[in-house]
Every structure is written in C-alpha cells, then in structure tokens.
Chain A
C-alpha cells in the first residue's frame, strides 16, 4: 500500500509517517467499525455506561465527547477488550467482543491514559517487544522507522524511566504504528504533549483517515480535532446524548432523560 505523504509540522517531525493498515477494502463494503446495542457497564453497582446503542461506519474519524464521568473511557476500554460489558453487545468490524475477543484485539489499537511501557527497558526494547507481540514483520526496520516517526530516534537507547510524560506518549503512539489495526481508539491523545507531539497526532489522524482506518477519539473538546472529524458522539450520564456528522448514528439519542438499567441479562 502506498505510504501517504504529509508536510512536516515541525523540524523534528518526519516527512512521512508509515501506517500499516490491513487490506481494508472500500469503506462502503466493510461492516461497521463499531456496532453496540444497549451496551452497559456497572462499577460497584453504579452504571458508567447505561445502554449505549451506537454505530460507526468503517473508515470514519469520530470524536467521543462529554464531561468527566460521561462514560467515554469506559466505552473505549470495552471496545479495546480491556473490560467486559455488564450488559448488551458490541461488535468491532462485525466481530463479537465476547466471542471473538482474540480476533478483535488483532484489529484494534488503543492508546489510553496509561502508556503500557516498561520503565526498565529502553525505547527501542519496548517497541521490539511490542513488535513481537503484534507479529510485526521485519522488526528491526519497522521499530527504527516508528522511533523516527514519533521523533524519538535520538533517544532510542535510553530507558523509558528517564522519559517525560510527553515522550512516553509519543513512544506509545510508536507502538500503535507497529500494529495492523483497522480501528484506533485514542483517549485524550493531545494530553501531556508539546507542540511537536500534537502535530504528530495531527499527522497520524490524517494518515489513518487517508488509508481508511477508523478512529474513535475520546476528548473534552474538538477545537483541534474539527478538521479531521467525520462525526461526533456526545455521551452524558452513560448514554448517547447526541450524534452528528457522517457515518455515525444511534438508535436512542434521546434516552439520556430516562436512564434506567437495561432489561438484558448480564453476560457474567
């Protein structure tokens, strides 16, 4: 697949970023990237998600908006298979999260608030480990390229323990570049980043959009995201409050005023 080119935003950023999506096909012929029905998640009896039915078509970049506690991170963690829903169903690329969790993991990359890096390993060692786990071909070349793409080539052999929060986040984005995801989930991707780091996120969003990778971004605001977004979903009190834009819809946008526990049986 051709590598999309971008104008550099800053001198330390690379000329191009290599993203490696699976053979995706035309977006219109693919199943929805995200398809949830009455998705709910309880924590200690309190609903963090209270019945989200949401559909995001393939290849779209969608912002997940809402105040603190609205359920944005919970929804992303369920879609990433990090936690299971208490009720309801969810599909990624047509695959059920409960029954096909392994196949879903191969299609989803998730950047959370935590970076998932090992402090006592160097940046290169962290990415080499991730590359083995992600079955990335040609590990040495791809890791070198990813480090270059996220602007950490000159710190490749330093231990992550010495890195700032922004550098750690860049390295975590480098890990995503090693994968082969069709759906990327980003939780507050601009947090802790300097201007160069934010430009890196911008470039990644452009690159993923160009090759047809779906992106769901949890964020408080869309100021910087506007130019990349196909749609917006606003969550409130664990429910879909509003949806707008292309390729995203919900069957129950008005339920926020009638939040109640779904009647479905718990999965476990």
Chain B
C-alpha cells in the first residue's frame, strides 16, 4: 500500500474508534446539543419577542451557539484520550503524526457537522427564519464552518488536554483564533438568508475555505509536538 492510503487507513481507524466510543458514551453530542439549545433560548429571551429583530440576529446567534458548543464538543472528544494513558499510547504507535491529527480532526468535524445542522434547524424554528429557500449555501457554510472549528479544536484540545484548567484554557485559546471563521460564517449565513443581494456570498465562503486550509495544514504540521509529554 502507498503511504497516503496507509495514512488514510490510520486516520479512518482513529475516527471510527472515536465514533464508536461517542455512540456508546455520548460524551460530546448530547451534552453539547443541549448546551447549544440553551444558548439559543437565552439569546432569544435576551433579545425579546420582536420576531423581526430575532430574524435579523439569527445568523450571529446561530454561529455563536455553534462555536460555544463546539468548544465543549472538541474538549469532550479529546477527553476520550485521557482514559488510562490512551493519549500516550496513541503517541507511541509508529504512525505519522499528521495521520493522527487527521483522524482526530475527522471525528471533530463530524460532531461539528451534526451540531451545525441541528442548530441551523433550531434557529429556523425558534426565530422563524426560512432556511429552506437557501439550503444549498447554508449547507456549504455549515460544512466549511464545521471543518474550521474541528480543525482548530483538534489542535487546541491537544494543547490543553493534559492541563488541569483545560475547560478554561481551551476557550481562551480557541475563541480568538476562531474570530475570522465566526465573521465569515455569520456574513455568509446572512447573505444566504437574504438571497445574496450584493453578491458577497462567494467571497465569504472563500474566506471560510482559506481559513480551513490554513488551519488544517498548520495543525497537521505541528500536532506531533503536542502529543509529546514534555
């Protein structure tokens, strides 16, 4: 087998292992979905009953809920690796570090994709936003956003997974880095929902794609150093 196929096989094995553990333990999805729902409801209460105001704010609320819940989700996914020295064992396997990163990121992206689609649906229902008429650009935005949050989260979760204060440190590190993604995703979502009157949707999606590529390359190149314990 060629090297890329071997690395893909390793990455899929890691992602599959995470998926099986997640389906059994529900470490990441259930708690983060509830968290995202609560965030949406609280934003709704804070903004009041004015439906036009809620619809205007919907893109921002959607992505704030996804990003906040995403921080929780990637942290929970990496906590799997703290089972009885599992992270150290993972680092000791004779496999390329970028394949380990790819596997962990795949799991993170999958969870973020589920989270993003569910929250998008919830925003449509709670804030009376018509997401059906712009489903294709909204789906593209959610996919690109999920990839970006998964890629960044996988990197920073490995940075903080051994720290006692990881629940505090992870958002402190992750959220500033996700600012460009948040901006791009909110603008793309708003443009999609408005029917893209100014033709800016493509530029925002390109920004999201560029962000994803940069974060994936940086994460794959440096993840090996994060796996080492000092």
Partner of A82, one of B17, B24, B25, B229: B229
**Interface range on chain A (Cβ under 8 Å from partner):** 20 to 34
Q: How far is the CA of A113 from the CA of B96 in the complex (A)?
A: 25
Residues facing A in B80-96 (CB within 8 A) are 80, 83-86, 88-96
Is the beta-carbon distance between B21 and A133 smaller than 8 angstroms? no
| Residue of B with least CB distance to A172 | B89
A161 to chain B: closest CB distance in Å? 9
Q: Collect the chain A residues with CB atoms within 8 Å of residue B93's CB.
A: 105, 130, 133-134
Given contacts A105-B92, A105-B93, contact A117 B84 (CB under 8 A): yes
A116 to chain B: closest CB distance in Å? 3
Interface presence of A264 (CB below 8 A): no
Is the beta-carbon distance between A121 and B94 smaller than 8 angstroms? no
- How does the 8 Å CB contact mask read for A115-138 relative to B, with 1 for contact and 0 for none? 111111100010001101111000
Is the beta-carbon distance between B6 and A135 smaller than 8 angstroms? yes
B interface size (C-beta, 8 A): 26
B55 to chain A: closest CB distance in Å? 41
Is the beta-carbon distance between A110 and B13 smaller than 8 angstroms? no
Given contacts A82-B229, A116-B86, A116-B89, contact A106 B94 (CB under 8 A): yes
| Residue of A with least CB distance to B21 | A120
Given contacts A129-B17, A132-B9, A133-B95, contact A118 B80 (CB under 8 A): yes
Interface presence of B136 (CB below 8 A): no
Q: Collect the chain B residues with CB atoms within 8 Å of residue A103's CB.
A: 94
Q: How far is the CA of A84 from the CA of B93 in the complex (A)?
A: 16
Q: Collect the chain B residues with CB atoms within 8 Å of residue A132's CB.
A: 9-10, 13
Give the dominant DSSP class at B's interface: helix
| Residue of A with least CB distance to B80 | A118
Interface presence of A112 (CB below 8 A): yes
Partner of A110, one of B80, B92, B229: B92
- How does the 8 Å CB contact mask read for B6-33 relative to A, with 1 for contact and 0 for none? 1001100100010011001100000000
Interface presence of A81 (CB below 8 A): yes
- How does the 8 Å CB contact mask read for B70-107 relative to A, with 1 for contact and 0 for none? 00000000001001111011111111100000000000
Q: How far is the CA of A112 from the CA of B91 in the complex (A)?
A: 14
Q: Collect the chain A residues with CB atoms within 8 Å of residue B25's CB.
A: 119-120
Interface presence of B230 (CB below 8 A): yes
Is the beta-carbon distance between A115 and B84 smaller than 8 angstroms? yes
Q: A108-B92, A135-B94 are in contact. List 9 more A-B contacts (CB 8 A).
A: A82-B92, A82-B229, A116-B85, A118-B86, A132-B9, A133-B10, A135-B6, A159-B24, A168-B84
Residue numbers of A with Cβ under 8 A of B are: 43, 80-84, 102-103, 105-106, 108, 110, 112-121, 125, 129-130, 132-135, 159, 168
- What 4 A-B pairs have minimum CB-CB distances, sorted nearest first? A114-B85, A116-B89, A106-B94, A133-B93
